[in-house]
């Protein structure tokens, strides 16, 4: 089995440093009983920016006898050479071919990266379909945000980890180690029957799916007595009790998020109705300010990075943000280390805070009003007003900023052309605000609009996705309306949103479509230069399925969804009520500071919202 | 005070680019906690520089980095701290210290010594003899970003002679390459030159290029080390 990438290959591909490893703080374990590949189904620069794998890499490598190693999707230039010379995809650390690993764990970040999973398994000489995998082949594991509907991949992975991985992955690896050391009793099925008894583990082969005549799911039932009827997600109760990596790998080449990423809290209870993460990562659990400051200190010392990004789903909502930022800036200023925030909410925008984070380095400001009209912002429960935006940008312009970027979605439920044009109006008003505050024109506005994709376990899971031609028309409507000086417009190819929509709410039958599309060359579908819509439509048609059924169809109140045996613990009744409130343009408040809004997560999982400014414990 | 260090770029990381190599050193300096000097302004940058750019894929035992410090420190302690903060694949071999006003290392490098290993089973000794006997050889190099433009490289000005040994289907070329105030040439372009003049069909993509040394020199051809009073690192 040829693993080595020779000098001639490395000389003839883009960015060879992606494939050679050796980075500072990467962990080489020559001897380990169990080796797990953490496989990211995209290129190195994207995968290395993913915080989840930084956390798991660190935790697993702390275990005795267990090694976590990294592998990323080779870019098409390298894949071509690997296939021509029969070189097997291997990990960066000790060059284990994927087929030599005990487990290969993929993160499901994005539906359009699914073909890369199939492709990486194939390049790693691992049998692509789980049912055909031989006794000595690795177990293929999946986790990550899309695990709340992994059904299109159900024929590919052996088991899934549902929820936060910190605790459960260790349990899984201990379980695997014991099974391996004991001589693998019962073979592959023997292990799956052991691992399925761990809370949060889903083994798709242990469930049967039946369908109604209209193609919707009739029932999902366990076919193995050990498999639970529904798999509830795992959560970490206390963010201060779990280990956060303070010596993450520092890459040689520039990655997408090339800075310290410090997670300040997990979960978000704002309740934006389009937001998958906001629904499935509940409840809000903050880290203590003292813990964050200590982590930052260690991270600066161990990485040599000059920027700390405070990350979470909505960092401006961190209850102790002001003091934490002030303390960090004061402490690290002498080392020229700056503190940054990923994006800002316009209602909690604090210009003094924004000024502080700019003290060391200047950067642009990004706001996410998400929709142009008040009506639409109420539909999605964004809970912000035009006045909030004007105050925020006004304060920013007054303090010397000249550029703002505004994020929007188009193709939302209940949206009319007026709502689209309201985005252009907002952009214009932001420019007027600049003129009013600064006394002359020239404020620069970037409008970014992405096509809305309804996701499972959100109130819009019942909603039909806007069809392709209509989405395109809306893009052009906005594009034409935004032909203004100093305004630029960014948008994506609407066709990718449709395929994303198909897989987001897809069922097991899409496994064949995925396989078919991959066999015909689909990979890197998230990269527009490699995305072939026609290939996907052909694959759907050849399996007797259609994008209309999965993406555009409005679901009935009582339809059984293909993903309901996987539980983020948010109640279906709550989601339906939220959907009805969306249609009625009624808001739901944030439970973080007010009363419980009844999503059911805390009660079902036995966890609590943790907000340090209110608890002071 | 400025620290001058001789560091390596080992095999495992030979394919990181010059920019990536420089950024890695910058982060290591920060991790090592050296009292490094910064420029003023909105985007303060660390005051350090590398003596010469190394091509992607080239292994080196002789890279030199110069670091300006905000306050003097023990060179040996600094070298050890930096060594501990560097990734596998970069090691500190030697250290020296000079005053801030000393000329930049980059401006004093006069030449480099290379070896190239290459799978090649034909006899190329005649070609090497011809190369060594030639008084002038010009290599036309396509300018990387401009179409229809070529750069003319006076190869013999930089590389007067090559040493050749061959064993088991692998040839080893050994040579010195001058670095002048107006530039130098890439080691791999020597192979291109040999192919162009002597139709050797050397497999350039497979060349294993190693920089063995970088040194100062004068017009009379005397050479001496980049670092004056060398404290060898304890590691």
Pair A527, A546: CB distance under 8 Å: no
Nearest to B15 among A17, A26, A360 (CB): A17
Residue B119 domain boundaries: 111-217
Residue B233 has what pLDDT? 55
Q: Report strand pairing: A66-72 vs B138-142.
A: unpaired
Cα Rg of chain A (Å, integer): 24
Quick one: B139 and B166 in the same domain? yes
Quick one: B74 and B131 in the same domain? no
Residue A359 has what pLDDT? 53
Taking residues A131-142, what's their average pLDDT? 98
Residue B149 has what pLDDT? 82
Nearest-angstrom CA–CA distance, A18 and A71: 10
Residue B235 pLDDT > 60: no
Taking residues A249-274, what's their average pLDDT? 95
Residue of A nearest to B26 (CA): A304
Nearest-angstrom CA–CA distance, B65 and B67: 7
Stretch among A88-102, A112-126, B205-219 having the lowest mean pLDDT: B205-219
- The pLDDT > 90 percentage for chain A reads 89
Quick one: B158 and B72 in the same domain? no
Residue A172 has what pLDDT? 98
Nearest-angstrom CA–CA distance, B124 and B118: 12
Residue A360 has what pLDDT? 45
CATH topology of domain A7-232: Rossmann fold (3.40.50)
Burial class (CB in 10 A: 0-12, 13-18, 19+), B94: buried
Chain B neighbors of A14, CB-CB under 8 A: none
Give the model's confidence band at A105: pLDDT under 50 very low, under 70 low, under 90 confident, else very high.
very high
Chain A neighbors of B46, CB-CB under 8 A: 336
Nearest to A252 among B20, B31, B85 (CB): B20
Chain B neighbors of A11, CB-CB under 8 A: 57, 205-206
Nearest-angstrom CA–CA distance, A572 and A192: 29
Nearest-angstrom CA–CA distance, B27 and A552: 49
Residue of A nearest to B23 (CA): A252
User: How does DSSP classify residue A559?
Assistant: P
Quick one: B120 and B207 in the same domain? yes
To the nearest whole angstrom, how far is the Cα of B136 from the nearest Cα of chain A? 29
Taking residues A577-590, what's their average pLDDT? 97
Taking only the tens place, the pLDDT of each residue in B58-80 is: 999 999 999 999 999 999 999 99
Residue A617 pLDDT > 50: no
Chain A neighbors of B38, CB-CB under 8 A: 336
Residue A358 pLDDT > 70: no
Question: Residue A439 region, left (φ>0) first, then alpha (ψ -120 to 50), else beta?
Answer: left
Chain B neighbors of A45, CB-CB under 8 A: none
Quick one: B100 and B127 in the same domain? no
- Residue A7 near chain B (CB below 8 Å): yes
Residue A121 has what pLDDT? 98
Q: Which are the contacts of A260, defined by CB distance < 8 A and separation ≥ 6?
A: A248, A296, A299, A300, A303, A305, A307, A308, A309
- Residue A186 near chain B (CB below 8 Å): no
Mean per-residue pLDDT of chain B: 92
Chain A neighbors of B186, CB-CB under 8 A: none
Residues of B in CB contact (< 8 Å) with A are 12-17, 20-21, 23-24, 26-31, 33, 38, 42-44, 46, 56-57, 85-89, 203, 205-208
Residue A401 has what pLDDT? 85
Stretch among A122-131, A536-545, B136-145 having the lowest mean pLDDT: B136-145
Give the model's confidence band at A454: pLDDT under 50 very low, under 70 low, under 90 confident, else very high.
very high
Q: Which are the contacts of A2, defined by CB distance < 8 A and separation ≥ 6?
A: A85, A86, A87, A88
Residue B232 has what pLDDT? 65
Nearest-angstrom CA–CA distance, A55 and A299: 13
Q: What is the CATH number of domain A362-492+569-605?
A: 3.30.750.200
Nearest to A305 among B13, B27, B57 (CB): B27
Q: For chain A, where do the domains classified as CATH 3.40.50.280 start and end?
A: 7-232
Stretch among A551-560, A592-601, B219-228 having the lowest mean pLDDT: B219-228
Chain B neighbors of A305, CB-CB under 8 A: 27, 30
Taking only the tens place, the pLDDT of each residue in A318-333 is: 999 989 999 999 999 8
Quick one: B90 and B184 in the same domain? no
Top residue of A4, A20, A22, A85 to mutate, by most chain B CBs within 10 Å, is A22
Residue B165, Cβ neighbours under 10 Å: how many?
11
Taking only the tens place, the pLDDT of each residue in A515-541 is: 999 999 999 999 999 999 999 999 999
Taking residues A352-375, what's their average pLDDT? 78
Cβ–Cβ gap B85/A22 under 8 Å? no
Nearest-angstrom CA–CA distance, B196 and A305: 46
Interchain CB contacts (distance < 8 Å): A and B = 83
Taking only the tens place, the pLDDT of each residue in B94-124 is: 999 999 999 888 888 899 999 999 999 999 9
Cβ–Cβ gap A250/B42 under 8 Å? no
Mean per-residue pLDDT of chain A: 95
Taking only the tens place, the pLDDT of each residue in B83-99 is: 999 999 999 999 999 99
B137: CATH = 3.30.70
Residue A26 has what pLDDT? 97
B11: CATH = 3.30.70.580
Task: Please give the C-alpha separations between residue A561 and each of A110, A555, A566, B79, in angstroms, as whole numbers.
Answer: 19, 9, 10, 62
Q: Give how many domains chain B has, as a whole number.
A: 2
Give the model's confidence band at B230: pLDDT under 50 very low, under 70 low, under 90 confident, else very high.
low
Pair A60, A245: CB distance under 8 Å: no
Taking residues A290-317, what's their average pLDDT? 95
Chain B neighbors of A250, CB-CB under 8 A: 24, 27, 87
Residue A86, Cβ neighbours under 10 Å: how many?
9
Task: Quote the tokens at residue B12.
Answer: 């495992």
To the nearest whole angstrom, how far is the Cα of A414 from the nearest Cα of chain B? 46
Taking only the tens place, the pLDDT of each residue in A194-241 is: 999 999 999 999 999 999 999 999 999 999 999 999 999 999 999 999
Stretch among A232-236, A308-312, B139-143 having the lowest mean pLDDT: B139-143
Among B52, B75, B106, smallest CA distance to B1 is for: B75
Residue A362 has what pLDDT? 53
Predicted ipTM of the assembly = 0.92
């Amino acid at each position: 089995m040829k693993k080595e990438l020779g000098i001639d290959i490395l000389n003839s591909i883009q960015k060879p440093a992606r494939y050679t490893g050796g980075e500072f703080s990467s962990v080489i374990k020559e001897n380990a009983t169990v080796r797990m590949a953490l496989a990211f189904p995209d290129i190195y620069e994207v995968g290395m920016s993913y915080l989840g794998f930084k956390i798991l890499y660190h935790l697993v490598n702390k275990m005795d006898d267990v090694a976590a190693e990294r592998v990323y999707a080779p870019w098409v230039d390298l894949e071509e050479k690997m296939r021509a010379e029969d070189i097997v995809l291997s990990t960066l650390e000790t060059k284990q071919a994927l087929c030599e690993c005990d487990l290969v764990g993929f993160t499901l970040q994005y539906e359009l990266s699914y073909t890369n999973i199939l492709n990486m398994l194939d390049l790693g000489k691992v049998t692509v379909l789980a049912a055909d995998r031989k006794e000595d082949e690795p177990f293929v594991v999946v986790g990550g945000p899309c695990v709340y509907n992994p059904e299109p991949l159900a024929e590919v992975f052996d088991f899934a980890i549902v929820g936060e991985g910190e605790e459960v992955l260790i349990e899984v690896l201990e379980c695997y180690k014991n099974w391996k050391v004991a001589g693998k009793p019962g073979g592959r099925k023997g292990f799956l029957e052991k691992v399925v008894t761990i809370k949060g583990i889903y083994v798709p082969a242990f469930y049967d799916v039946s369908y109604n005549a209209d193609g919707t799911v009739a029932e999902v039932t366990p076919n193995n007595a050990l498999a639970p009827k529904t798999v509830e997600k795992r959560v970490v109760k206390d963010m201060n009790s779990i280990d956060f990596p303070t010596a993450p790998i520092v890459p040689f080449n520039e990655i997408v998020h090339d800075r310290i990423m410090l997670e300040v809290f997990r979960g978000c209870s704002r309740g934006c109705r389009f937001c998958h993460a906001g629904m499935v990562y509940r409840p809000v659990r903050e880290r203590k300010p003292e813990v964050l400051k200590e982590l930052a200190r260690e991270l600066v010392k161990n990485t040599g990075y000059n920027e700390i990004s405070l990350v979470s789903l909505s960092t401006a909502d961190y209850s102790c943000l002001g003091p934490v930022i002030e303390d960090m800036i004061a402490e690290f200023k002498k080392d020229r280390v700056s503190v940054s925030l990923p994006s800002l909410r316009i209602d909690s925008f604090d210009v003094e805070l924004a000024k502080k984070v700019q003290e060391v380095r200047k950067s642009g400001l990004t706001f996410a009003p998400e929709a142009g009209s008040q009506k639409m912002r109420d539909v999605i429960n964004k809970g912000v007003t035009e006045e909030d935006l004007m105050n925020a940008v006004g304060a920013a312009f007054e303090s010397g900023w000249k550029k703002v970027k505004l994020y929007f979605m188009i193709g939302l439920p209940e949206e009319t052309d007026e709502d689209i044009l309201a985005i252009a109006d907002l952009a214009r008003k932001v420019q007027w605000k600049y003129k009013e505050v600064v006394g002359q024109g020239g404020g620069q506005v970037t409008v970014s609009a992405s096509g809305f994709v309804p996701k499972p376990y959100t109130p819009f899971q019942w909603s039909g996705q806007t069809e392709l031609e209509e989405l395109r028309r809306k893009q052009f409507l906005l594009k034409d309306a935004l032909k203004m000086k100093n305004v630029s417009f960014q948008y994506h190819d609407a066709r990718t949103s449709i395929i994303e929509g198909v897989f987001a709410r897809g069922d097991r039958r899409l496994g064949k479509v995925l396989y078919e599309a991959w066999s015909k060359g689909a990979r890197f579908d998230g990269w527009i230069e490699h995305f072939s819509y026609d290939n996907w439509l052909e694959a759907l048609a050849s399996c007797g399925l259609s994008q209309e059924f999965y993406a555009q169809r409005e679901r009935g109140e009582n339809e059984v969804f293909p993903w309901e045996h996987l539980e983020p613990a948010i109640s279906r009744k709550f989601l339906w009520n939220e959907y009805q409130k969306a249609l009625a343009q009624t808001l739901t408040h944030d439970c973080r500071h007010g009363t419980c809004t009844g999503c059911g997560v805390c009660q079902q999982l036995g966890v609590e919202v943790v907000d340090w400014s209110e608890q002071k414990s | 005070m400025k620290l001058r260090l001789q560091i390596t770029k080992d095999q495992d990381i030979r394919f990181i680019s010059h920019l990536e190599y420089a950024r890695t050193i910058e982060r290591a300096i920060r991790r090592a906690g050296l009292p490094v000097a910064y420029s003023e302004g909105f985007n303060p940058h660390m005051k350090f520089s590398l003596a010469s750019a190394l091509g992607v894929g080239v292994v080196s035992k002789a890279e030199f980095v110069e670091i300006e410090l905000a306050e003097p420190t023990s060179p040996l302690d600094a070298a050890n701290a930096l060594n501990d903060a560097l990734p596998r694949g970069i090691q500190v071999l030697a250290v020296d210290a000079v005053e801030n006003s000393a000329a930049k290392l980059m401006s004093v490098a006069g030449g480099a010594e290379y070896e190239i290993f290459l799978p090649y089973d034909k006899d190329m000794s005649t070609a090497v003899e011809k190369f060594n006997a030639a008084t002038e050889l010009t290599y036309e190099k396509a300018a990387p970003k401009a179409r229809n433009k070529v750069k003319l490289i006076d190869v013999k000005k930089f590389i007067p002679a090559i040493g050749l040994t061959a064993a088991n289907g692998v040839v080893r070329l050994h040579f010195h390459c001058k670095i002048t105030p107006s530039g130098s040439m890439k080691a791999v372009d020597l192979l291109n030159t040999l192919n162009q003049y002597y139709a050797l069909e050397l497999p350039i993509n497979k060349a294993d290029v190693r920089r063995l040394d970088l040194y100062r020199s004068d017009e009379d051809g005397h050479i001496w080390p980049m670092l004056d009073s060398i404290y060898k690192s304890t590691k």
